[in-house]
Structure 1
Amino acid sequence: MPAKKTFDNTQVIDQIMRLFWQNGYYHTSMDEIVATSGVKKQSLYNALGDKHTLYLKSLQHYHQLMLTATTQTMQQLEQSGASPVDILMALLTQGLTATDQPTGDLINNAVVEFATSDAEVKQLTDQFYADYLTLLASVILKGQASQTIIANQASMPLAQGLLEARIGLQTQLRRGAQPDLAQRQQLWTRLLSV
């Protein structure tokens, strides 16, 4: 008779995700994953898979968490009457200075570690960025419709430029820099505003 599972998959994946986020894929050993999760190695393999599968599940979990947080922030700001520019500024700096999580961004870290060498990782990172771009572009479109955001460019190229700026900030934070986020917001606001 198989042993009864005594752990919550989502909670374990969340712990493992944070470990990958902090150390990266290649600098995280299976022994560290076992120690962090508190689940025996064989139980992890049986319930959740090998290290690579755990990494993919961590990326999926991160995707869900970040997009849920982004969507909630957008909705709260819209309901409070914030302008599209203010919403964009909040989204672009959201989570960058959080002290309860590793620095940088797990998706950005995955791109740096794997580039295009792992098709499954590439598919997940591409999907994350596509979803994030869609959210940014929707805010830009609202700002363009209300004539508070420049309309000399389509929303998607503007969103792409902002995403690339955020990725740059995440990379700076990951390497220990302390960029002035308020200064960046002022610059982006001047560039976007009508």
Structure 2
Amino acid sequence: MPAKKTFQDDQVIEKIMSLFWQQGYYHTSMDEIVATSGVKKQSLYNAIGDKHTLYLRALSRYHQQTLTSCTQAMQQLEQSGADALTVLSMLFSRDLTNADQPAGDLMANAVAEFGTTDTDVQQAVDWFYNDYLTLMSAVILKGQASQQIINTQSSTALAQALLEARIGLQTRLRQGAHPDIALREQAWRQFLTR
């Protein structure tokens, strides 16, 4: 008779996600995953899968948490009467300098580590960035409708430029740089409101 599982997948994935975020995929061993999760190796394999599967689950968890958090923050800002630029500012700078989490962004780190060599990772990253792009694009569209944001380009094209700037900042933060986020934000605000 198989042993009864004695851990919660979500809690374990949360711990493993943080480990991958801090160290990256290739610099994280299964022994470190076992030690961090507090779950025996065989139990992890049986319940969740191998290291690659754990990484994909961590990416999925990050996606879910980030998008849920952003959507809730957007709703709160909109309910309080915030304009589109304020909401967009939140999406642009959210968690860039959060001392309670590793530097950068788990998805940007995945791109840096894997590039296009792993189709499963690439698919997870694309899915995440497409969802983030959709959030930014919707806010820009609202700003264009209220004539707060320029409409010389589509909301999607403007959101893509802004998202790529955010990804670049996340990469620089992961490298240990200390870019002036407020200065970057001032530059894109001027660009969007000309």
TM-score by length of 2: 0.98
Question: Residue 61 in 1 paired to residue 70 in 2?
Answer: no
Note the 1:83-162 alignment, pairs <5 A: 83-162=83-162
The DSSP-based 3-state class of the residue aligned with 2:95 is: coil
Alignment check: 8 A CA contact 1:60 1:124 kept: yes
1:100 is displaced (CA, Å) by 1.2
Q: Which runs of 5+ in 2 are unaligned?
A: none
Note the 1:6-17 alignment, pairs <5 A: 6-17=6-17
TM-superposition CA deviations, 1:76-111 (whole Å, max 9, x none): 111111110111111100001111111101101111
Question: Residue 35 in 1 paired to residue 35 in 2?
Answer: yes
TM-score by length of 1: 0.98
1:14 is displaced (CA, Å) by 0.5
Alignment check: 8 A CA contact 1:20 1:55 kept: yes
Aligned counterparts of 2:138 and 2:87: Cα–Cα separation in 1: 11
Aligned counterparts of 2:138 and 2:124: Cα–Cα separation in 1: 21
Q: Which runs of 5+ in 1 are unaligned?
A: none
Aligned counterparts of 2:114 and 2:71: Cα–Cα separation in 1: 28
Alignment check: 8 A CA contact 1:85 1:193 kept: no
Aligned counterparts of 2:2 and 2:127: Cα–Cα separation in 1: 37
Question: Residue 168 in 1 paired to residue 168 in 2?
Answer: yes
* Total equivalences in the alignment: 194
Alignment check: 8 A CA contact 1:144 1:150 kept: yes
Q: Percent identity?
A: 66
The two structures, once aligned, show a CA RMSD in angstroms of: 0.8
1:61 is displaced (CA, Å) by 0.5
Aligned counterparts of 1:180 and 1:132: Cα–Cα separation in 2: 22
Matched residue type, 2:36: T
